[in-house]
Structure 1
Amino acid sequence: MTEKSKTDACVEFLKKLAEELKVEFKVSCPAKDDRPTVILSVIGTQPELPAIMLNSHMDVVPVFEEFWTHKPFDADIDEEGKIFARGAQDMKCVGMQYLAAIRRLKRHNVTLKRTIHVTFVPDEEIFGPDGMKAFVNHNDFRQLNVGFLLDEGIASPTNVFSVFYGERTCWQILFRIHGQPGHGSLLLEDTAAESMHFLLNKIYDFRRSQEKMLEDNPILELGDVTTINVTRINGGKQRNVLPAFIELTVDIRMALTVNLDDFEAMINRWAKECGKKIEIEFVTKEPFCPPTKIDDSNAYWTAFKSAVDELNLEIKPLVFPAGTDAAYVRAVGIPAIGFSPMNNTPVLLHDHDEFLHADVYLKGIEIYEKILEKVCNF
């Protein structure tokens, strides 16, 4: 199947579910016709109130099928009750749990004051501009009158559920490091590789400082520090020729406490201290996005917290270490929480043999049912 045919099949599948649930169905294409956002809406008894948005994404990361013990797109369940599938944790489970919770609410004749919009967006896994980033700036989104968003979280290997109220700022930088070319047998000065070596030392010295912060303070989590990692190195034309330039790409996720201007000044200082010509290109340069308040000033959080308290669930508020579509929604001033009801589950997003236990999945539906009742009716 082509990418478009897969997308079309997903849209048709969601349309059938909307018909079964007897809810409104709409497709929005804020960027491209082949990048649809699907919206299933349950209209509340007071539709003038700000609505609740439940977000999921259609896309998943690729698989290396030879490393899987089950077919990655068959959703096989083994004798232990583990459901193996790409997206079992990230995040087909959440999208289906939303709809299953709505089905239960309807079956139990629960009245909801606020409208619920369940959205399925494209391109989340590639930070694509054609998904949520385009949608939040489109009139179709503004017409939804969204007051609060629930989006994906991460599995927790303990009994405690992870709840994410913010995300680190993502910068991805390409350093183009120029140097003296020449024959590979010579000891030339000012080579690109020497400058790269200097820059790598700066990068990994900083990286070690963040590792030490985590080691020295057991209260801190990964989302509380800044990570920097080299993700790509390109350069050279031939084995016996010194390259005229080398390209080095780094992925940076900055903690909420980092001053972005100061951090950029540090990056420029590293390049200047090399003493050689280094061009800096920002492939991704997201602005700082304030986190969602998780106190009594946020009535949506209070309603969410009352639901998990009634269910006797233990939660841990965290800063999301990577990135989700919730960041784009927070950026337009809407509070957002990342939560996937998966505890006692190993973290396997993007991994081989990604799975979710059936009991955890079914329990998650009950959890969402209680959360939706609370946040829609406060």
Structure 2
Amino acid sequence: MNNTLKELDTIAVENFRQYLRIPSVHPNVNYEPCVEFLEKLSKSIGLQFTVFRDVPDNPTVVVTWMGKDKTLSTIMLNSHMDVVPVFEDKWTHKPFDADIDENGNIYGRGAQDCKCLGIQYLEAIRRLIKNDFQPRRTVHVTFMPDEEVGGGNGAGMCVTTDNFKRLNVGFALDEGGEGVGNTLVVYYGEKKRETITVHCTGQSGHGSSLLENTAGEKLRFILGKFYDYRAEQKKKENEEQRTDNITTLNLTMVKGGVQHNVIPDEFVLGFDARIPPKNVQEFETTINGWCKDAGEGVWIDPSENEAHGSTSLTDSNIFWVAFKKAAREMGFQTDLRILHANTDGRYFRKALIPTIGFSPNLNTPVKAHQNDEFLNINVFLEGIRIYVRIITALADA
């Protein structure tokens, strides 16, 4: 390794650790230390720095690398500043110290989800600038707030603003899942999340009576249908060894009853479902059928969960062609999937911006949202080198 590259690696690791030490953790996140850190880092690279403050206390950071042709749509490289809470007594390393162990693993909340990506984007651009590369298209590196609590006051609001529209984004990279071996996992869409609230109503009375048409009997029927379906999906997941083609379904809330000797007139069940886009209509028809079969007085609250589109990954998408070509030249295959969870990417797709969810951090145990979240130094640095090739290809598409 030459001295210049070694110096760049040292700078990148130190910047990553500094970012991890900022406790931008829910609830009540203070984003200003992140904003200050990112401003200093961006200006050290020679990039333009802007903050959108359309939502009070939820700033969006935009770092801009100007391209040669300002008439072209731009590339957006997105990550988020916020991280989920920690149970510090369950960690072997303090979650905001960015300790490095003897194996080169850097520990910290956000190490995988997803402070790594923001630093990897910027450090890849630093290397490209040092190599005198100027992109054809302008590149915006964006740092969103609020992603870990749904993104409504982050990317969801941001894409509707004039500030964002002036960025003229034609293609976006967002967070994704880690690949294995020589395979890069690429997410072109996300499952639709539905919060399903089922009301089971019936005859009420004394707890000593065996009444007909009770809410509890209908609850039993509904639970049986939902959990039989869940078991089928679990079997499919085990057989296929992947999650993008299955619907996840879990009971998360139960309400009802006033006291032990009173049969209640209603139970309310809350379910969390994550549905592949192609299965949404069939799933909704199925669960409404179950409610009808359960008997009179069983219904589902109207869903307010919005559908969001997928990105076409065909040869008509010049950005996908550029991404795929760069991956192939590095010796990687691509595995195209629907993401099992939700990210800011859904808001970009809803705004009709083609978006890929992607992480360059290969062969890494998934620790996002878990105790002892970490990323290995070598994996982190290799991710920067992957981004150098990917960003070059996208910016010149």
TM-score by length of 1: 0.92
- 1:286–1:143 CA distance, 2 compared to 1 (3 A): same
Instruction: Render the CA deviation track for 1:180-212: whole Å, top value 9, x for unaligned.
Output: 444444433333332211111111222233234
- 1:350–1:27 CA distance, 2 compared to 1 (3 A): same
- The corresponding residue for 1:169 is 192
- Contact 1:41–1:118 at 8 Å: present in 2 too? yes
- The corresponding residue for 1:74 is 97
Deviation at 1:351, TM superposition (A): 1.2
Q: 2:213 aligns with which of 184, 190, 199?
A: 190
Q: For residues 190 and 181 of structure 1, what CA distance do their matches in structure 2 show?
A: 9
- 1:203–1:301 CA distance, 2 compared to 1 (3 A): same
- The corresponding residue for 1:270 is 290
**What's the secondary structure of 2:31's corresponding residue?**
helix
- Contact 2:51–2:62 at 8 Å: present in 1 too? yes
- The corresponding residue for 1:16 is 40
- 1:185–1:351 CA distance, 2 compared to 1 (3 A): farther
Instruction: Please list, as runs of the form range in 1=range in 2, the aligned pairs for 1:206-285 lying within 5 A after superposition.
Output: 206-216=229-239, 218=240, 221-260=242-281, 262-282=282-302, 284-285=304-305
- The corresponding residue for 2:362 is 343
Q: For residues 179 and 21 of structure 1, what CA distance do their matches in structure 2 show?
A: 66
Q: For residues 242 and 70 of structure 2, what CA distance do their matches in structure 1 show?
A: 39
1:116 has 2:127 as partner: no
Deviation at 1:354, TM superposition (A): 1.1
Instruction: Please list, as runs of the form range in 1=range in 2, the aligned pairs for 1:107-186 lying within 5 A after superposition.
Output: 107-156=130-179, 158-186=181-209
Q: 1:326 aligns with which of 337, 345, 365?
A: 345
Q: Partner letter of residue 87 of structure 1? A: G
**What's the secondary structure of 1:366's corresponding residue?**
helix
Instruction: Render the CA deviation track for 1:251-284: whole Å, top value 9, x for unaligned.
Output: 1122232252x43332222222211423422464
Specify every segment of 5 or more residues in structure 2 that has no aligned partner in the other structure, as ranges.
Answer: 1-22
**What's the secondary structure of 2:75's corresponding residue?**
strand
Q: For residues 227 and 113 of structure 2, what CA distance do their matches in structure 1 show?
A: 30
Q: Which moved more, 1:232-241 or 1:1-10?
A: 1-10
- The corresponding residue for 1:371 is 390
- The corresponding residue for 2:31 is 7
- The corresponding residue for 1:27 is 51
1:314 has 2:333 as partner: yes
- 1:156–1:232 CA distance, 2 compared to 1 (3 A): farther
- Contact 2:70–2:138 at 8 Å: present in 1 too? yes
- 1:134–1:268 CA distance, 2 compared to 1 (3 A): same
Q: For residues 164 and 226 of structure 1, what CA distance do their matches in structure 2 show?
A: 17
Instruction: Render the CA deviation track for 1:303-329: whole Å, top value 9, x for unaligned.
Output: 111211222123322111111111111
Deviation at 1:224, TM superposition (A): 1.4
Q: For residues 198 and 293 of structure 2, what CA distance do their matches in structure 1 show?
A: 14
- Contact 1:159–1:344 at 8 Å: present in 2 too? no
TM-score by length of 2: 0.88
Q: % of aligned pairs identical?
A: 45
Q: For residues 186 and 66 of structure 1, what CA distance do their matches in structure 2 show?
A: 49
- 1:237–1:84 CA distance, 2 compared to 1 (3 A): farther
**What's the secondary structure of 2:30's corresponding residue?**
helix
Q: Which moved more, 1:119-128 or 1:272-281?
A: 272-281
Q: Which moved more, 1:64-73 or 1:250-259?
A: 250-259
Specify every segment of 5 or more residues in structure 1 that has no aligned partner in the other structure, as ranges.
Answer: none
**What's the secondary structure of 1:296's corresponding residue?**
coil
Q: 2:118 aligns with which of 86, 90, 95?
A: 95
- Contact 1:175–1:279 at 8 Å: present in 2 too? yes
Instruction: Render the CA deviation track for 1:17-66: whole Å, top value 9, x for unaligned.
Output: 22222222222234x21122111111111121110001111111111122
Q: For residues 303 and 58 of structure 2, what CA distance do their matches in structure 1 show?
A: 22
Deviation at 1:374, TM superposition (A): 1.0
Q: Partner letter of residue 223 of structure 1? A: D
Q: Which moved more, 1:121-130 or 1:335-344?
A: 121-130
Aligned length, in residue pairs: 373
- The corresponding residue for 2:67 is 44
Q: Partner letter of residue 347 of structure 2? A: Y
Deviation at 1:118, TM superposition (A): 0.9
**What's the secondary structure of 1:200's corresponding residue?**
helix
Q: For residues 157 and 112 of structure 1, what CA distance do their matches in structure 2 show?
A: 30
**What's the secondary structure of 2:278's corresponding residue?**
coil
- The corresponding residue for 2:20 is none
